[in-house]
Amino acid sequence: MSAITFSGLASGVDTASIVESIIEAESVTKTQLEDKQTYLESKLETYTEFDTLLDSFYASVLGLNSTNDLKSFTATNNGSEYFSVSTNSLANEGSYSVEIVSLARQQKDVSTTTIADSDTTTLTGQLQIGEETLNYEDLTLDDLVTLINEGEYGLTASMIDDGTESGYRLMLTADTSGTELEITGTGSILLDTATDGHTVDGTKAHLVVDGVDYYSAGNTVTNAIKGATLTLLATSEGADTVVIESDAETVVATQLEEMVEAYNAIDTFIDTITESDATLGRSLKPVQTSLKNYLTGNTLVALGITSDWETGELSFDSDTFAAAYAEDPEAVQVALLGDDDSEGIMNRLDDYLTGQISATSGFLATKKSTIDEQVSRLDDSIAAQETRLEKRKAILEAQFTAMETLISSLNSQGDYLTSFFEDYDSSSS
């Protein structure tokens, strides 16, 4: 239990305020330590933001660090309304003749029986769907649709209303185009596809590519042109032409431009930090300098990347790049991605960035480890200062309490002596 003190009762001096003032004056060291800790935390936030910008820059590099990134193609279909076409990295440049003979369709069958009410009229009978038999009893049409869809019959049941007075009918649609299921219905639901045929016959898609017939169970065809997907929309009256061309030039130009933008974001960030804290800004410069050296070497300068000597920002000249690519596209690809005899500039840049963004030994990881150690030491120093100040305050309070006690005692003695001599004078008179 702490001692109860009555500040200045004997001396008339506000000793509590004096103690607080002394402690505040002696807390300068602790405040300085806390300020250092706050600054370190601010530095870590800056390094974290910088690391995020490095990640963004690395993402632009990843789009151009492998020969697979150049295997990009565009496909045109001569404006055909009968099919659309898309490509993947397995495509080959070339021209192809495509004619759509027929589309894939799912088999559909509708019962000849009509029902007045789908949720009250009860039905009983049997459906033979392919090799599967479904017996039902005392079910509404709604219930029968649900029962069929819960099974595995290779089709989906639904209900239509043909608009007549008792117009509810059962529709069965095959799950797969081009397949044929014979269906027989007896009892309440009558169907006989073997005798009456199908309401809609299921057919496979049929197309002719460069004189070769292709068939597909669906209207999305991937096996007719290597690396291309044809989506069939309608039958055609003749052939249309598909042209597949390499899109590598556009891919490279786009990625180089994204790299320049990502670098400029880093440049702007460092300039902003340097304006308010030059020392902190300088700690970011080595990484920036390395990146700039990669981007402004002879290889990329020849492809249109240049640096503004005044601002330090980079720019990408698409015309310079287009001219270099048109002159020798293979040389451009080798310069960027290398070959059996040399390592490309993008591979070297990839290796450098992989090291810088490493979660264990990269730029941020190293800075964070150092700052965490410094913050930990400051925590210990601040705790020691707090302990010292608490003890110092306790000593000061004890000293002032002792002083007050002494003054109170002296005051009591003075009052006694004053009273004694007053009484003595009175008796003497």
CB 255 within 8 A of CB 262: no
β 94-102/240-246 pair status? antiparallel
Is 429 contained in some domain?
A: no
Is 414 contained in some domain?
A: no
What is the C-alpha separation between 83 and 235, in angstroms, rounded? 9
Pair (291, 377) in one structural domain = yes
E strands, 52-188, where? 73-76, 83-87, 94-102, 108-110, 123-129, 132-139, 155-161, 168-174, 183-187
Confidence class of residue 4 from pLDDT cuts 50, 70 and 90? very low
Q: What does the buried/exposed string (b/e) look like for 318-348 if buried means 16 or more CB atoms within 10 Å of the residue's CB?
A: eeebeebbeeeeeebbbbbbbeeeeebbbbe
Pair (7, 151) in one structural domain = no
State yes or no: pLDDT of 7 exceeds 70. no
Is 362 contained in some domain?
A: yes
Ranking 55-69, 72-86, 166-180, 259-273 by mean pLDDT, the lowest is 55-69
**What pLDDT score does 321 carry?**
92
The pair of three-digit structure tokens given for residue 155, joined into one six-digit string: 């089709």
Pair (160, 296) in one structural domain = no
Is 55 contained in some domain?
A: yes
Confidence class of residue 147 from pLDDT cuts 50, 70 and 90? very high
Residue that has been written with the tokens 């601010």 in this structure: 42
- Reported as a single tens digit per residue, the pLDDT across 231-251 is 999 999 899 999 999 888 888
Pair (96, 132) in one structural domain = no
State yes or no: pLDDT of 2 exceeds 60. no
Pair (257, 215) in one structural domain = no
Pair (238, 287) in one structural domain = no
Into how many domains does the chain fold?
3
Phi, psi of 126 (to 5 degrees): -145, 140
Residue 409 makes CB contacts below 8 A (sequence gap 6+) with none
Is 304 contained in some domain?
A: yes
In this prediction, residues 5-28 reach a mean pLDDT of 66
The pair of three-digit structure tokens given for residue 274, joined into one six-digit string: 């340097």
Is 240 contained in some domain?
A: yes
Is 47 contained in some domain?
A: yes
N-terminal to C-terminal alpha carbon distance within the chain: 54
User: Whole-prediction pTM value?
Assistant: 0.63
Nearest Cα neighbor of 112 from 173, 174, 180, 186 is: 186
What proportion of the chain, given as a percentage, has pLDDT over 70? 93
- Mark which of 246, 279, 304 sits at the end of a domain: 246
| Sheet of strand 240-246, all strands in order from the earlier edge strand to the far edge | 73-76, 240-246, 94-102, 205-209, 212-216
Kindly state the helix (H) or strand (E) to which residue 19 belongs, with its residue range: helix 15-25
Ranking 67-71, 83-87, 170-174, 229-233 by mean pLDDT, the lowest is 67-71
- Rounded to 10 deg, the angle between the 363-428 and 15-25 helix axes is 150
Pair (169, 293) in one structural domain = no
CB 47 within 8 A of CB 270: no
Is 423 contained in some domain?
A: no
Confidence class of residue 420 from pLDDT cuts 50, 70 and 90? low
Residue 339 makes CB contacts below 8 A (sequence gap 6+) with none
Pair (209, 285) in one structural domain = no
Confidence class of residue 427 from pLDDT cuts 50, 70 and 90? low
What is the C-alpha separation between 324 and 328, in angstroms, rounded? 6
**What pLDDT score does 25 carry?**
75
- Give me the domain span that covers residue 100: 73-104+204-246
Length of the chain: 429
Pair (255, 235) in one structural domain = no
Pair (381, 327) in one structural domain = yes
CB 104 within 8 A of CB 217: yes
